[in-house]
């Protein structure tokens, strides 16, 4: 039997109902902040991610699903949403629309990762991007909107961690100091770290190898080298978040795995597993990197599979309101007519579509937990009366065989 590829998941009906519930709640939160949905292609030109996410990141160096299409173009399945959304923003002239632009998405992502708990190769992100504001107020709105998701979904034990990784100006200075620190032990780092030393030493702080992590202990921290503008921005973000009553921790080790970040970065961590459920930050240089005008932006994405692990249903999936049992052509015709009328009015109706026996239909109606049942036989057609049975109690009532009478009972 052919099995699904490693790192993918089937979403079965019980689980998909849970997903729909979560998706609905999050969509409603986004709507209250006036974010609008965007959908972008599953695949993009590879260069978009190389330039946007960064050539020296793990995502680009190790994790992308990249292939040449039949026309010889290098194509990549999106490993994240921000690069594609910013490309779409530019390509569709959204820069000339009333600013800021506020977009949200719910999309599958693809990363060739080492599969483990919470780490898949096909996974889903729900994210938001706010493009066109450099103010700390935009960071605060984005972080509060993210937090609202955990509150509305009743997910406890979530910790907000914050950091600032500065702008290209202060980061340049910091990188010199960081290189001095790493340079002393460079020969002891892994090959990937060594290869990143010249181009992007900050990436070394994000290495998952134990020996590199140990070597990184005591490394100088970006947050201690912020320029005045970045410092003021971060102070404003922190004090506004504090005023809003949301607790946070400063974690100066957050560098994030993608190169486009500037200034504020943040993560919402599941305290019981230590996994990051939601991550984001400011990316003031990305629009320009893609050839647009200087345009500040901030956003986040959450891992849907990770949030689902922590979410308990608030409701039950719908059960059939009515099972219409019938056999014989004329009876089936009546069952079809009734079911179509009732479905049009929004009721969940089940009826026989397998030409099963009376007993089999009865068993099936029980198994699928239908709330009510009617049996259409020769007698019912002649008298135009039918018994409607409440399955849970066994109570029966005789009514006229028409939609209005049925609705009076099942509504």
CA distance 247 to 255: 20
Residue 201 as a binder of ligand HAM (CB under 6 A): the answer is: no
- Per-residue binding letters, 230-269, with ligand HAM (x by CB under 6 A): ---------------------------xx-----------
Nearest residue to ligand HAM by CB is: 303
The site that binds ligand HAM (CB under 6 A) totals a number of residues, namely 28
Joined together, the tokens standing for residue 14 give 């019980």
Q: How far is the CB of 300 from ligand HAM (least distance, A)?
A: 5
Contacts with 298 (C-beta within 8 Å, 6 or more apart), sequence order? 129, 130, 133, 138, 139, 142, 264, 280, 281, 282, 283
Of 80, 74, 91, 75, whose CA–CA distance to 53 is shortest? 80
Residue 300 as a binder of ligand HAM (CB under 6 A): the answer is: yes
Which residues between 130 and 189 bind ligand HAM (CB under 6 A)?
A: none
CA distance 126 to 201: 30
Stretch of 117-125, 155-163, 191-199, 400-408 lying at the interface with ligand HAM (CB under 6 A) = 117-125
Cβ atoms of 158 and 152 within 8 Å: the answer is no
Residue 289 as a binder of ligand HAM (CB under 6 A): the answer is: no
Residue 58 as a binder of ligand HAM (CB under 6 A): the answer is: no
Residue 127 as a binder of ligand HAM (CB under 6 A): the answer is: yes
Q: How far is the CB of 71 from ligand HAM (least distance, A)?
A: 28
Q: How far is the CB of 256 from ligand HAM (least distance, A)?
A: 6
Which CB, 146 or 365, lies closer to ligand HAM? 146
Contacts with 33 (C-beta within 8 Å, 6 or more apart), sequence order? 102, 141, 145
Which residues between 69 and 98 bind ligand HAM (CB under 6 A)?
A: 80-82
CA distance 289 to 291: 5
Query: What's 224's DSSP letter?
Result: G
β-bridge mates for residue 301, sequence order = 127, 279
Contacting residues toward ligand HAM, per CB under 6 A: 80-82, 111, 113, 118-120, 123, 125, 127, 129, 257-258, 276-281, 283, 299-303, 305-306
């Amino acid at each position: 039997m052919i099995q699904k590829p490693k790192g993918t998941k089937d979403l079965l009906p019980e689980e998909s109902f849970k997903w729909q519930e979560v998706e609905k709640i999050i969509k409603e939160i986004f709507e209250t902040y006036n974010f609008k949905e965007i959908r972008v292609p599953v695949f993009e030109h590879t260069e978009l991610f190389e330039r946007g996410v960064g050539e020296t990141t793990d995502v680009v160096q190790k994790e992308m699903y990249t292939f040449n299409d039949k026309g010889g173009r290098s194509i990549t399945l999106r490993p994240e949403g921000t690069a594609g959304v910013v490309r779409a923003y530019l390509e569709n002239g959204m820069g000339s629309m009333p600013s800021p632009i506020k977009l949200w998405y719910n999309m599958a992502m693809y990363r060739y990762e080492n599969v483990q708990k919470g780490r898949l190769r096909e996974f889903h992100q729900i994210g938001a991007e706010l493009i066109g504001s450099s103010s700390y107020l935009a960071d605060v709105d984005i972080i509060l909107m993210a937090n609202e998701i955990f509150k509305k979904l009743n997910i406890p034990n979530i910790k907000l961690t914050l950091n600032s990784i500065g702008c290209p100006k202060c980061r340049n200075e910091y990188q010199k100091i960081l290189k001095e620190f790493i340079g002393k032990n460079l020969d002891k780092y892994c090959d990937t770290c060594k290869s990143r030393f010249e181009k992007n030493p900050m990436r070394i702080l994000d290495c998952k190898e134990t020996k590199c992590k140990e070597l990184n202990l005591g490394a100088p921290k970006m947050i201690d080298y912020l320029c005045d503008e970045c410092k003021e921005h971060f102070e404003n973000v922190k004090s506004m978040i504090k005023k809003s009553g949301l607790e946070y921790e400063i974690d100066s080790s957050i560098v994030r795995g993608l190169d486009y970040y500037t200034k504020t970065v943040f993560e919402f961590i599941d305290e019981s597993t230590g996994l990051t459920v939601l991550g984001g930050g400011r990316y003031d240089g990305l629009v320009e990197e893609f050839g647009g005008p200087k345009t500040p932006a901030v956003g986040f994405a959450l891992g849907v599979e990770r949030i689902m692990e922590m979410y308990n249903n608030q409701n039950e999936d719908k059960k059939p309101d009515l099972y219409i049992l019938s056999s014989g052509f004329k009876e089936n015709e009546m069952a079809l007519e009734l079911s179509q009328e009732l479905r049009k009015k929004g009721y969940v109706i089940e009826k026989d579509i397998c030409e099963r026996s009376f007993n089999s239909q009865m068993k099936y109606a029980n198994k699928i937990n239908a709330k009510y049942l009617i049996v259409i036989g020769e007698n019912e057609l002649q008298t135009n009366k039918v018994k409607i049975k409440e399955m849970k109690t066994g109570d029966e009532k005789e009514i006229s065989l028409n939609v209005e009478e049925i609705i009076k009972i099942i509504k």
